[in-house]
Copies of this chain bind each other. A is one copy, B any other.
Amino acid sequence: MTRRVTVVGLGPGRADWCAPAVLERLSTASDLVGYGPYLDLVRASVPGRRHRSGNRVEGDRAGLALDLAEAGGDVVVVSSGDPGVFGMASAVLEQLDLRPERWQGVEVEVLPGISAAQALASRVGAPLGHDFCVISLSDVLKPWATIERRLEAAAAADFVIALYNPRSRHRPHQLADALAVIGRHRSPTTPVVVGRQVGRPGEEVAVVELARLDPTVVDMSTVVVVGSSSTRVLDRPVGASVYTPRSPGDGRVPERARA
């Protein structure tokens, strides 16, 4: 018997951004477990039995996948983006940690994917081209004080900052609060990249100045990347234009690197 759970990332939505290793793994699974809209991204020709769940029950979903595997299944948990970045991979390992004896015989593996911030970055150039932080603004599972402390540290040390789960109906104020913390350390003209549904139908990407970002245009399917002090926007009519240089400071590369 197989007894395996593989947590896979489909990437940001576009079928041609999904690793072939993931497609191969999906094609041979006995069971596919995931949030409904992610399962809908898996081709109908993939034969595994679908187990759809809601968005906020990661623990239950992980437990179901482990139970199916314990019973002999070769199970795939379907995530969007990279399942290792705020995705289902941690949720599955959390369940194993809580009840280790229950699923002793199940092997867990993870297949990575392109995460939303990378997809967004690629759409405008290379804003993540140098040191960066990735922070979830969701305080469902962590205190806002922890989030604020991390924002403060990342902003003070001049990291580029990618914000996941930036806003929901339940906590509409948080993005504005986060931007205020960052704004204590960054110029109001700092470039901010905002992407909604990146790689999916209806994709919207914008580059705005930090002081001009309207938090009300942002929702949970949005990722926000706040530039560092050296992130620059080029005046180009088409194509990539935003980047963070490999050398901090004025954005110019020292002579020795240009030789």
Listed in ascending order, the chain A residues whose CB lies under 8 Å from chain B are 4, 11, 14-21, 24, 57-59, 82-87, 89-94, 96-98, 100, 106-115, 118-119, 121-123, 125-136, 140-143, 146, 149-150, 152-154, 156-159, 232, 234-236, 238-248, 251-254, 257-259
Given contacts A130-B86, A157-B149, A245-B94, contact A253 B19 (CB under 8 A): no
A21 to chain B, nearest CB (A): 4
Identify A240's interface contact among B14, B93, B123, CB under 8 A. B93
How long is the Cα–Cα vector from A150 to B158 in the complex, in angstroms?
Answer: 8
What B residues does A17 contact at CB under 8 A?
19-21, 112
What B residues does A121 contact at CB under 8 A?
84, 110, 112
How long is the Cα–Cα vector from A235 to B101 in the complex, in angstroms?
Answer: 11
How long is the Cα–Cα vector from A188 to B141 in the complex, in angstroms?
Answer: 26
How long is the Cα–Cα vector from A92 to B122 in the complex, in angstroms?
Answer: 13
How long is the Cα–Cα vector from A152 to B154 in the complex, in angstroms?
Answer: 10
